[in-house]
Amino acid sequence: MNNIYKTLQFIPIAFCAIFFSGCNDQLTTEDAQKISSNAVLSTTTGLDMVLNSAYSCLLLGDNGSSSQNDACYAGLTGLLMHYDIGGADIMSTTNYGGSPESTYKYLAERTMASGNADRIWTNMYKVINQVNQILDALPEASGEEYEKNEIKGQALAMRGIAYFHLIMSYQQTYAIAKDKRGVIIRTSSSDDSNSAFSTVSACYEQIIEDLTTAKSNLTKYEREEKWKINSEVVSGILARVYQVMGNWQNALSEATSVYTKYSALMTQEEWYSGFDQLMANGCKELVWGVKFTNLSNISSNVEFCFWYNQDPSYGEGMQDGPTYNFINLLVDQKYVDLFDDTDFRGTKTSKTENVTDADEKGVMFWHRTANGNAETRARWAYNKIKTYGDGGGAKQSHAYDIDIPLMRGSEMLLIMAEAEANLGNTAQALTHLNMLQSARDAKLTTVTEKSALLDNIYIERRKELLGEGVVGIYDLLRLQQPLVRYGATASNLAGHFSSGLAQLDGYNGADAQPKGTLLSNDYRFIMQIPQLELANNESISNSDQNPFSGQ
């Protein structure tokens, strides 16, 4: 791993200083190459700057930039698409290509060792490398003890998050793979670059150790910006980790601790806002998020620039909307059908011709009737992840002034419901589920039988959280459920494109109801180990590689 995991000779402080507003302004004029790593790592001030650089890598991706070819892998903001597009609810047009389209189609390049498999691997190990530098330097650095605790807590949290996404992306889920090959654990910058794989179980032990220690260190930390990690964010990540592991008591405890502080669920007005200004508008349910500005952004390669939902008055072209848009993402008919008539998250226009701004701004689902392609016109645009802009005035090519939500209280409430059901407390689980449904004006679930109740919770997760990176592949793998997509037919014009079925199993376009499936835990969900890692790390070999497909 010599090409990926290497000692930092210079820390890009000048870049970091303008990348996030929390950096010290006086450092913005300094040339990063004139500051040695020893000087940077010797004080808490310098280490805090390195920490911000690691945040940039974690949140926005390697070097804080990307193209449409790797938008699904541009840090945590890209993984929101990566996990969800691989599920049954989202489809991609063939308009522009790039990682959203290849993820939707399950093309070989998505997971092959010589294709896109290195994107998540390189990004997350770069984060790990940076925070290990910080953690190694902290004991001898000058500065206040509380500063060291805050830096240590955030650094450990980032490392735990990075390993969590690595182990989810490069091996089958915990429930069936505890003893299988995991990823490579390094907890110090001095660790040998030629290191062997640890087991999945050992990786989760490291993740939990990092996150629980981080939470302890951040108990008194009060963040100034929503993109920073505090104790509530760590508890939310722990809730997800325990959810994947099936440790329901701990998942319940961590999720409850977060929900207690973020229990003011979004109103209908907030839900209909497009989710792009939740931080700016002070959404009380938002636990964690990051704002894209003219200085901190990944150009037009964020999720808001892929959903094909710009207002009709803008036009149908990529450069017609309030931001540059690849006009890729739509939703499947079966997803629209999940919503009952009273649920304000599922409102839709009945118009199939001449849909206007006035028609679609008051609903969540609508048809792009001005589009010249009949297949596209038949599908549903979805207004959840959307930038409304100014109604057709000044346009911009990049995704500036957009807030990316990374964690909300409603997710924690649904984890609480799932945990209680799995613990046998179905009445309490139903109470939690009904609380969210009531807030969304949805019909209340009444079943109390465990299996049926859990199915309702899983459906509610899809309805509430699509586009936020915790459904799709994330849920299919941890629940060991198959991916099933149904193609469009004469009676279901808004089904999946044939291109989203062709690489799946069992697809036959001549069938009365064509469909494609991937069995649970098929390795086509999972990335192969990058070829460069296999070539450069002497402690691993091709025998450690994931198969491309099969279980």
Tell me the pLDDT tens digit for each residue of 317-338. 888 888 888 899 999 999 999 9
Helix, coil or strand: residue 377: helix
Domain boundaries, the chain: 483-518
Residue 136: per-residue pLDDT: 96
Beta strands 90-92 and 329-331 are antiparallel
Residue 543 gets which letter from DSSP?
A: G
Q: Which amino acid does the sequence have at 170?
A: Y
């110090």: which residue's tokens? 188
Cα dist from 513 to 431, 487, 491, 506, 510, whole Å: 38, 7, 10, 11, 8
Residue 298: per-residue pLDDT: 65
Q: Which residues in the chain land under pLDDT 70?
A: 1-37, 63-68, 294-299, 390-399
Residue 296: per-residue pLDDT: 66
Helix, coil or strand: residue 290: strand
Residue 295: per-residue pLDDT: 63
Q: Which amino acid does the sequence have at 233?
A: V
Tell me the pLDDT tens digit for each residue of 373-424. 999 999 999 999 998 876 544 555 566 788 999 999 999 999 999 999 999 9
Residue 28: per-residue pLDDT: 28
Report the sign of the C-alpha dihedral through residues 38, 44, 45, 50, in that order.
Answer: positive
Residue 293: per-residue pLDDT: 72
Give ∠ CA 182-187-188 in degrees, rounded to 5: 140
Task: State the DSSP string of 39-54.
Answer: HHTTBHHHHHHHHHHH
Residue 8: per-residue pLDDT: 30
